[in-house]
Amino acid sequence: KAAPRVPISAKLVANMMQTAGINRVVTMDLHAGQIQGFFDVPVDNLYGSLIFLDYLKEKNLKNPIIASPDVGGVARARSFAKKLSLDLVIVDKRREEANKSEVMNIIGDVAGKDVILIDDMIDTAGTIVKAAGAFKEQGAKSVSAFCTHAVLSGPAYERIESGALDGLVVTDTIPLKQESDRIKVISVAPLFGEVIRRVYHDESVNSLFK
């Protein structure tokens, strides 16, 4: 719950889907992992990191470090960093009002590093672009971001084009409203296809996460 006396709408959506007749859910990067518990049917919550890991290894960055754009995303970023055996830095920010954020402090050293920001969703891009600027001010060599769900509403594209972010890699869970030289899209279709195949043939889905 975001505040007292507000509805938990995700539970309502889960109930509606089940009433409509679904018997299994395959999804990617739920904003809150606890949503899996709202369903009374099996839920496979896939991770965008499964796709991003291979892409990052191909980039072969010289001095990479993983970053979380806020305290709430630390677990996600830490998991990513662990898989790549990299260090982690955190942006400590205070949100003054809805859809607006202010970067306050960086926990960790990014001087001379290639910073890789990890997030599950980018809406107006305010947080991610301000974080990139803060990293550059602290001496980061480059700052790129990896995000599963590219909502990119309002001034997002303008901020990405004019901000300190060197590049943004997203998946196609949400189609882009417009193209940008700074945004690269990686398809999730092969991963979903493989999961559906395994479910259909009663094979292990869990082994994909390893």
Domain locations in the chain as residue ranges: 9-46+190-209, 49-188
Instruction: Return the SS3 of 173.
Output: coil
134 Cβ contact partners less than 8 Å away, ≥ 6 residues apart: 91, 103, 106
> Is 57 in the active site?
no
Using CA atoms of 16, 208, 204, 201 in order, give the dihedral in degrees to the nearest 10.
Answer: 80
What is the token pair recorded at 113?
A: 């590093």
What's the confidence (pLDDT) of residue 165? 95
Count of CA atoms in the C-beta half-sphere (13 A) of 83: 16
Q: Which fold has domain 49-188?
A: Rossmann fold (3.40.50)
What's the confidence (pLDDT) of residue 28? 95
DSSP for 43-99 reads EEEE-THHHHHHHHHHH--SSEEEEESSGGGHHHHHHHHHHHT--EEEEEEEEEETT
Alpha carbon separation from 142 to 62, 145, 165, 172, 189 (Å, rounded): 11, 10, 8, 24, 29
Instruction: Please identify which of the residues 93, 113, 130, 136 carries the catalytic annotation.
Output: 93
What's the confidence (pLDDT) of residue 98? 62
**What residue ranges of the chain have pLDDT lower than 70?**
94-104
What element of type H or E holds 208? none
